[in-house]
Amino acid sequence: MRAARAAALLASALSSMAVGCSDNCPNNSCSPPVFDLTMRRMDDLSFLGDLAITSAGVVMVGAGAANSFSPSTVTIRAGQSVTWSWVSGFHSVVSDSAPKAFADSPAQASGQFIATFATAGMYPYHCGIHGAMMTGTIVVQ
């Protein structure tokens, strides 16, 4: 009798737990981390005030054997081009803009890739091989 009541209480508790667990992740805190293109763009924006127009239009790809674009932010004038120049590694240049600011570069280990930017704006991009760990932004004024 006592055991039966305990079993019923346990079943009831388990049932309410199951209901509670059906959406037990407030703010999606239980979801795996997901690369957020919008957030990265926001992060880049926070540094805009410190930017100067330097080494305009040239990005070294994989400089120092690192998975990076250097400099990661380049500022040019509308109508100018950016030249990505491969130094090391196997990388590509993929626009994050919608619609894309330029067609994807091939993934390659050497050579150059050139894109022209006609319209002012911010144009984030990433390496198609290394994703979120290898990103950059073109600022067109």
**Interface residues with Cu ion (CB under 5 A)?**
91, 127, 129-130, 134
Whichever of 84 and 117 has its CB closer to Cu ion, that residue is 84
Provide, rounded to whole angstroms, the least separation between the CB of residue 49 and Cu ion: 28
CB of 127 to Cu ion, least distance (A): 3
- DSSP alpha helix (H) spans, 22-135: 37-45
Nearest residue by C-beta to Cu ion?
Answer: 127
Please report how close the Cβ of residue 102 comes to Cu ion at its closest, in angstroms.
17
We find the least distance from the C-beta atom of residue 118 to Cu ion, in angstroms, to be: 26
Which CB, 97 or 108, lies closer to Cu ion?
Answer: 108
* Distance from C-alpha of 94 to C-alpha of 124, rounded to nearest angstrom: 9
- Looking at the Cβ atoms of 57 and 91, the one nearer to Cu ion is 91
Question: Do the beta carbons of residue 96 and residue 127 sit within 8 Å?
Answer: no
Q: 3-class SS at 95?
A: strand
| Sign, Cα dihedral of 78, 112, 127, 68 | negative
In the complex with Cu ion, the residue whose CB is nearer, 9 or 107, is 107
**HSE-up of residue 61 (Cα within 13 Å, Cβ side):** 28
